[in-house]
Structure 1
C-alpha cells in the first residue's frame, strides 16, 4: 500500500504538469488558468449540493430506522471527490467529477466497499458495536 501511495505522489503531479502544459499550448495560458478556477468552483458547488443531498437521505434512513451504510459511503465519496475537485489539475478534476456525480458514484462506492470488506477479512479494520 505504501508503494502505491509513493507512486501516486510522484506520478500524479507529473501527469498533471504534462496535461497543464499541453492545455497551455492548446487553449492558451489565461484560458487554462480560468478553466482550472472554473472547474474548482463548479466542483465546490457540486460537492455542497451532493453533500446536502446525501445528508438528507442519510437522515431520512435513520428516521425510518434503516441502516444508512450505502449513504455513508456516498458521503465519503462526495468528500473525496470534493477534495479532488478543489485541488488544481485536470486529471484530479475529471476523477473528482466522476466521484461526485450521482450516476458514476456507484462505481467508486462499490470499489470502496470491496476495499473495506477485504480489510475487514484481513482483520485490519475492526467494527465495535455498543
Structure 2
C-alpha cells in the first residue's frame, strides 16, 4: 500500500509537471495556462451535465422500485472524473475525460464490477448489501412504495480482507 501511495503522491505529480513543462515549451507559457483553465471549465461542465443525468436516472430507478446500482457506480465515477479534470495536469485530464464520457465510463464500470466480483469469488472481500426498511411516516416516498410488502433486508457491511 505504501508503494501505491508513493506513486500516487510523488511520482504522478512529477510526471504531470514534466509533461506540462514540455507542453509549455511547445505551445508557450500562456497557451499552457489557457489549456489548464479550458480543461477545468470543460471538465466542470461535463461533470455537471453527466452528474445531473445520472441523478435523474437514479431517481427514476428508485421511483420504479428498482435498485440503482449502475447509477451509483456512475455517480462515483463522475465525481472522481470531475476531480481529476479540475486538477491541473494532462494525464489527470485524460483520465477525467475518460470517466465523464458515457462510452468509456461504461468500460470502466464493467471493469470495476468484474474486479469486485472476482474479489468476492476469491473471498478477498465480503460484501453484504441491504436497504433501509421504509418507515410508515413516509408513505409518499416512491422508494418506500417499491419496498412495500417485502421482507426486511439484512444490514449491510463492506469488509475488506486485502489492501486495495
- Normalising by the residue count of structure 1, what TM-score does the alignment of the two structures yield? 0.90
User: How far did 1:96 drift?
Assistant: 0.2
**Which stretches in structure 2 are left out of the alignment for 5+ residues?**
131-152, 154-164
Cα RMSD (Å): 1.6
Equivalence map 1:56-71=2 (5 Å): 56-71=56-71
Distance, in Å, in 2 between the alignment partners of 1:125 and 1:81 is 27
- Normalising by the residue count of structure 2, what TM-score does the alignment of the two structures yield? 0.73
**Which stretches in structure 1 are left out of the alignment for 5+ residues?**
none
Higher relative strand content: 2
Q: Does 1:88 align with 2:88?
A: yes
- Residue 21 of structure 1 aligns to a residue whose secondary structure is helix
Residue range with higher mean Cα deviation, 68-77 or 117-126: 117-126
In structure 2, the CA distance between the partners of 1:31 and 1:125, relative to structure 1 (3 Å rule), is: farther
Higher relative helix content: 1
Distance, in Å, in 1 between the alignment partners of 2:43 and 2:35 is 12
Report which of the two structures shows the higher radius of gyration computed on alpha carbons: 2
Corresponding residue number in structure 1 for 2:141: none
Count of residues in Structure 1 that have an aligned counterpart in Structure 2? 130
Corresponding residue number in structure 1 for 2:52: 52
- Residue 125 of structure 2 aligns to a residue whose secondary structure is coil
